[in-house]
Amino acid sequence: MSMADRDGVIWLDGEMVPWREAKTHVLTHTLHYGLGCFEGVRAYSTANGAAIFRLKDHTDRLFRSAHILNMKIPFSKEELNEAQCAAVWENNLDEAYLRPMVFLGSEGMGLRADNLKVHVMVAAWSWPSYMSPEAKEIGIKVRTSSYTRHHVNITMCKAKANGNYINSMLALNEAIASGCEEALLLDNEGYVAEGSGENIFIMRNGVLHTPELTSCLEGITRQTILDFAGDLGIPVKERRITRDEVYIADEAFFTGTAAEVLPIRELDGRVIGAGKRGPVTEKLQAMYFDAVKGKLPQHSDWLTSVKS
């Protein structure tokens, strides 16, 4: 089904618009130059109805991204939180993927981007999983990309910016063409950065390691896993990681709103650990799915009900 040809509504600049009528002009500035920012957010079915996971954290990051890109969002955080809840509720969704996006209008063209209106949209649709249930159990095959991840002298790595994802798409398409399911990108010095749209963790000798955030997006799922590690008493080190350290790790996994907690069974033809989801990955994955389903009382504040 085409993303443009669906029933339902999309929140656009403060109003609910019929899905097929939520349109912009072909000379919209962001379409040409990529200056915009967005979020990927998930709503899950819980015992109390649909609820959005870590909604406020996602909205906070959207505002940080816009600030970094010097884009003034013409709505408050509270209004955008309400818009995201409404997008799920009005489309009668029990579980959903949400896409809030901030973009520039069509008042002018050129790199200066002077006096352009800032628009905001929120769409929500049914989207069960980024990877298959089998992949979440047995893990995926990953290839180290020939493309280098962005670094701080090239772009704004703390912003979830539209244009940054060209780098991700090139890396992912290269990996898929080689028979793998995901890509691992290195930073400009050759250290592990992240996946095409995910943060990475490795487990080695009882310690959970994840790259520091110099060339990585500050992942909300990444922070969730760090919180879980604290709950479980698992020692964590945020540091530089080399590619060959991933080869010899006991376990490895990706994290992200779309990927959730996704085991890595192989990198560049090297089997990682036992070649399947490891015990620590399995425990953290189970905690994650309990949290998003409202089954972890100690983290119930991470869920926002969409009920109006």
Question: For 157-166, what is each residue's pLDDT tens digit?
Answer: 899 999 999 9
Q: CA-to-CA distance for 277 and 264, rounded, in angstroms?
A: 7
Would you say 209 and 235 are in contact if contact means Cβ atoms under 8 Å apart?
A: no
> In the chain, what are the domain boundaries?
9-125, 133-292
Report residue 166 as tokens.
């060209």
Report residue 269 as tokens.
């033809």
Q: Are strands 236-238 and 96-104 parallel, antiparallel or unpaired?
A: unpaired
Q: CA-to-CA distance for 287 and 302, rounded, in angstroms?
A: 13
The list of the chain residues with pLDDT below 70 reads: 308
Would you say 171 and 147 are in contact if contact means Cβ atoms under 8 Å apart?
A: yes
Would you say 146 and 167 are in contact if contact means Cβ atoms under 8 Å apart?
A: no
pLDDT the model gives residue 131? 86
One of 56, 136, 141, 160 is an active-site residue; which one?
Answer: 160
Q: 101 CB contacts (<8 Å, ≥6 apart)?
A: 36, 37, 38, 39, 120, 121, 122, 162
| 293 catalytically annotated | no
pLDDT tens for residues 36-78? Answer: 999 999 999 999 999 999 999 999 999 999 999 999 999 999 9
Q: Which helix (H) or strand (E) holds 303?
A: strand 303-305
Q: CA-to-CA distance for 226 and 77, rounded, in angstroms?
A: 25
Burial letters 260-299, b for 16+ CB under 10 A, else e:
bbbbbbbbeeeebbeeebbebbbebbebbeebbbbebeeb
Topology (CATH) of 9-125: D-amino Acid Aminotransferase; Chain A, domain 1 (3.30.470)
Return the residue matching tokens 């090297």.
270
pLDDT tens for residues 236-268? Answer: 999 999 999 999 999 999 999 999 999 999 999
Tell me the residue length of the chain: 308
Does the pTM exceed 0.85? yes
Report residue 139 as tokens.
């893990």
Are 9-125 and 133-292 in the same CATH fold?
A: no
Topology (CATH) of 133-292: D-amino Acid Aminotransferase; Chain A, domain 2 (3.20.10)
Q: 148 CB contacts (<8 Å, ≥6 apart)?
A: 185, 186, 187, 188
